[in-house]
Homo-oligomer: A and B are copies of this chain.
Amino acid sequence: MAFTSEFPPVYVTVDVVVLTLRDDALHVLMVERGSKPWQGRLALPGGFVQQQEDLLAAARRELREETGLAVQPAHLEQLGTFGRPDRDPRARTVAVAHLAVLPALPEPVAGTDAAAASWQPVAEVLDAELPFDHHDILAAGVERARSKLEYTPLATAFVGPTFTIADLRHVYETVWGRRLDPGNFHRKVVGSPGFVERAPGERSGSRGRPAAVYRAGPATLLNPPLWRGEPAPTPTGRHRP
């Protein structure tokens, strides 16, 4: 092949921003770096793309290896590619970043060789210094999740296979950092075609009337979107005590 000798090869990695909800806060999966640059620091999980491996498949593999869990993420998509020439001091690397969303796991992280992995609150991680350009990547992932809540059923990826409308509302409230009106939210979600569908049974919280149980519907796009415009900080009336 002609160009093999003419052009500089590049090391392509796949990094994954894995988001979930724990303790009413957005968390991200981080691993402790074991090797040279930034050794011992928390970084996004990721690794080199293997020959004959698709990018999405590589992201899935990294996720599986790093979490030790055979979870198939409820959501996995390509986020963007980061390739500043100086992003890795060792060599020219290009990182294809992905976004994964999981429901809260009973055991945080533990498994094969994933002892170094842990869930960290996004807010704290974004305040700290991160290796390479992982700060940009994480910020892009969070922003993507925020905006996709609006016009896709992404929220269902944060909860289990069945959930209540209040569960969904907590996802929106946590990721958007904004309190939503329970009544209007309920109407909006149930009325959005294909967003959710009834599942058998009810679910009781600690107190209050038990809630109907739903599962994710077939829709891939919310039409119309749940809320347009920006999450405004409470327009006119009261709301929030």
Q: A91 touches which one: B3, B81, B96, B230 (CB < 8 A)?
A: B3
Q: Are B96 and A50 in contact (CB under 8 A)?
A: no
Binds B, one of A64-72, A82-90, A107-115, A202-210: A82-90
Binds B, one of A4-12, A122-130, A153-161: A4-12
Which 6 A-B residue pairings sit nearest by Cβ, starting from the closest?
A9-B9, A1-B90, A7-B48, A55-B83, A10-B12, A81-B81
Residues from chain B with a CB closer than 8 A to the CB of A48 are 3, 7-8
Report the Cα distance A224→B54, complex, angstroms: 38
Shortest CB-to-CB span from A42 to chain B, Å, is 20
Q: Indicate with 1 or 0, residue by residue over A44-70, a CB within 8 angstroms of chain B CB atoms.
A: 000011111111000000000000000
Q: Are A84 and B54 in contact (CB under 8 A)?
A: yes
Q: A7 and B2 in contact (CB under 8 A), knowing A78-B80, A223-B229? A: no
Residues from chain B with a CB closer than 8 A to the CB of A49 are 8, 10, 83, 94
Q: Are B1 and A55 in contact (CB under 8 A)?
A: no
For residue A131, CB closer than 8 A to chain B, the reply is no
Shortest CB-to-CB span from A97 to chain B, Å, is 9
Q: A228 touches which one: B83, B92, B94, B225 (CB < 8 A)?
A: B225
7 interchain pairs, CB-CB under 8 A: A1-B91, A2-B90, A3-B90, A7-B48, A9-B11, A12-B94, A51-B92
Q: Are A85 and B53 in contact (CB under 8 A)?
A: yes
Report the Cα distance A229→B226, complex, angstroms: 11
Q: Are A2 and B35 in contact (CB under 8 A)?
A: yes
Report the Cα distance A21→B24, complex, angstroms: 48
For residue A36, CB closer than 8 A to chain B, the reply is yes
